[in-house]
């Protein structure tokens, strides 16, 4: 019943209400082209774990030695950018799934920038022909509550843009094997324990393949790191995170 009401609500806001830009009120799109262009692309040059300087967000040598998880975290900008925060909030908590469009344009730019960095030799080899793209999974219970997995929706939109190949997308290999408490309310060490072994992998062969994990936001990097550990345990060569925003 709740799902049905949520679907109705989504239908109403997506189709019946006049579509206006969340920022300037212009009719036509939820984020108009000008307002989207005004959200500055600001890749963060810091290690996702210790926050020391690290070009584009590659995990530093020390943290890589300790974590053996995520090899780097690339983003469009900071979560405290008011525009980014507003779009993500409306996308996730007010179920405006059409916001996957502007958000996927931002993700596309992050991926293009990684490819450019590789080409000019500023970044190591991150995205290869057979790199797999995997959305950070939601637990079944959370999926029922929200009605959609925001990471999966973003990844599907990204594939529509032909920036990544359909056959390199893997939607069901990585699973959240147990329900966890919302991370935001916990202190840091409890966050790590909360997510320990919360992910499992049972998809196709990963040996010598690199993986790009997609999500909307990463604050502590712990969720992505736990996903990355599960993937590397199963043979993935390197695991990278690509998100809209870092906290």
Q: Rule CB under 5 A: which residues touch Zn ion?
A: 21, 23-24, 26, 32, 35, 47, 49-50, 60, 63
Q: How far is the CB of 36 from Zn ion (least distance, A)?
A: 8
Q: Which is nearer to Zn ion, 103 or 132 (CB)?
A: 103
Contact 206, 199 (CB under 8 A): no
Q: Which is nearer to Zn ion, 29 or 92 (CB)?
A: 29
Q: Which is nearer to Zn ion, 23 or 76 (CB)?
A: 23
d(CA 226, CA 232): 10
Q: How far is the CB of 207 from Zn ion (least distance, A)?
A: 27
> The tokens 């998100």 sit on which residue?
243
> Could you give the angle at which helices 82-93 and 100-119 cross, rounded to 10 degrees?
130
How many CA atoms, within 13 angstroms, populate the side-chain half-sphere of residue 164? 32
- Cα 138 from chain centroid (whole Å): 12
Q: How far is the CB of 141 from Zn ion (least distance, A)?
A: 33
What is the phi/psi pair of residue 81, to 5°? -65, 120
d(CA 101, CA 108): 11
Q: Which is nearer to Zn ion, 44 or 47 (CB)?
A: 47
Q: How far is the CB of 61 from Zn ion (least distance, A)?
A: 8
Q: Which is nearer to Zn ion, 54 or 131 (CB)?
A: 54
Q: How far is the CB of 159 from Zn ion (least distance, A)?
A: 26
């Amino acid at each position: 019943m709740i799902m049905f009401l949520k679907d109705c609500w989504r239908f109403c806001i997506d189709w019946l209400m006049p579509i206006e830009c969340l920022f300037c009120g212009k009719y036509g799109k939820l984020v108009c082209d000008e307002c989207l262009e005004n959200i500055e692309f600001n890749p963060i040059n810091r290690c996702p774990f210790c926050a020391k300087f690290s070009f584009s967000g590659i995990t530093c040598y020390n943290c890589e030695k300790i974590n053996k998880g995520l090899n780097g975290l690339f983003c469009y900008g900071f979560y405290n950018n008011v525009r980014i925060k507003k779009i993500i909030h409306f996308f996730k908590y007010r179920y405006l799934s059409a916001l996957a469009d502007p958000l996927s344009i931002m993700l596309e730019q992050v991926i293009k920038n990684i490819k450019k960095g590789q080409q000019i030799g500023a970044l190591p080899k991150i995205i290869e022909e057979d790199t797999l793209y995997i959305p950070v999974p939601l637990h079944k219970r959370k999926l029922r509550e929200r009605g959609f997995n925001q990471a999966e929706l973003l990844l599907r939109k990204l594939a529509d843009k032909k920036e990544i190949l359909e056959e390199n997308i893997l939607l069901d290999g990585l699973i959240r094997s147990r329900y966890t408490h919302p991370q935001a309310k916990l202190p840091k060490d409890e966050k790590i324990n909360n997510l320990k072994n919360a992910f499992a992998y049972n998809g196709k062969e990963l040996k010598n393949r690199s993986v790009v994990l997609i999500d909307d936001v990463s604050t502590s990097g712990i969720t992505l790191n736990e996903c990355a550990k599960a993937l590397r345990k199963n043979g993935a060569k390197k695991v990278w995170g690509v998100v809209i925003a870092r906290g």
